[in-house]
Amino acid sequence: MRRLVSPAPVGRLATVRSDGHPHVVPICFVITGDVVYSAVDDKPKRHRRLQRISNVRATEAASLLVDEYEGDWSRLWWVRLDGRARLVDNTAEVERAISLLSDKYPQYVDRPPSGPVLAIDVQRWVGWSAASL
């Protein structure tokens, strides 16, 4: 499953609002070991008070869904990583996450993310594939 997830350019981050409602957004991400990192970057947003950040502070519940859809259904797959989300406050870990994200996304080399770094400590990997994983 890891070989499918790691190079994927986008995933869907699901968090839970304090009122119990789900919230899903597409994100850029990188995975190292069993930790997923993403960061609030400088792409235009409606405001800087992002719901995903509030949700992590409120519930810590998160899942990342990564998938591949093609017209050839024999190539379909999805992987979901479930875990505990946290905002990274350790400077060394933030720098490492930004470095890993910059290695994966060339856009971050000249404009590294300046917002909070989110980590998911993955506790469970679940997946399906039309072919064997």
Sequence-distant (6+) residues with CB within 8 A of 27 are 10, 11, 12, 13, 38, 64
For residue 113, give the H/E element and its range. none
CATH value at residue 45: 2.30.110.10
Q: Considering its fold, how many domains does the chain have in total? A: 1
pLDDT, tens only, 106-123: 999 999 998 899 999 999
Cα separation, 55 vs 66, in Å, equals 20
| Whole-structure pTM value | 0.92
Q: Which domain holds residue 58?
A: 2-129
Tell me the C-alpha to C-alpha distance, in Å, between residue 1 and each of 45, 48, 49, 89. 31, 33, 33, 29
pLDDT, tens only, 1-30: 889 999 999 999 999 999 999 999 999 999
